[in-house]
Amino acid sequence: MHRTKIDLADNVRAAIIGELSAALADSVDLSAQVKQAHWNVKGPSFIALHELFDQIAIDVRTFTDEIAERIVTLGGTALGTVQQAVAKTRLPAYPTDIASGANHVEALSTALATYGKHIRAGIDATDELGDAITADLLTGVGRGIDKWLWMVEAHRQADS
């Protein structure tokens, strides 16, 4: 870790960086999964889903950047390559053999929900470590992901 005058003990910063690094891997993976859906969706809801998925991708890239910058702020190194994300992601693999809007809605809602679950765990962990700033950052990420999950799930809720 790099030195910093941030008033968190080295072991606390290391633990927080570990939480954020896991979130970063998930974020890089989620960004790719959203673009996979964006590029490949087909069917009657094509344009609505294509545009929705693109807006989600923009936000996920922003969340990814915020998480990576917090890692570096705390003295860590942001490990955000695709290879590192593949090795560390906690998200399920995105199916690459689907095309219909309904199937992409199902797959992407699963990815968003899983990501949100891990972000909530990160909020709790960083709060317990005494870093309200990182917990707040992750709370903002979680809030955004929950909103996007709602918008994606709304495409399949009309029939239930």
Residue 2 lies in a domain: no
Tell me which residue range forms the domain holding 127.
10-157
Residue 151 lies in a domain: yes
Taking CA atoms, 87 is separated from 72, 73, 115, in Å, by: 20, 24, 16
Report how many domains make up the chain: 1
Residue 107 lies in a domain: yes
Residue 104 lies in a domain: yes
Residue 153 lies in a domain: yes
Tell me the C-alpha distance between 118 and 91, whole Å: 9
116-131 pLDDT per residue, tens: 999 999 999 999 999 9
16-62 pLDDT per residue, tens: 999 999 999 999 999 999 999 999 999 999 999 999 999 999 999 99
CATH of the domain at 114: 1.20.1260.10
92-109 pLDDT per residue, tens: 999 999 999 999 999 999
Residue-level pLDDT at 159: 61
Is pLDDT above 80 for 160? no
The pTM for the full model equals 0.95
Longest CA pairwise span in the chain (Å): 55
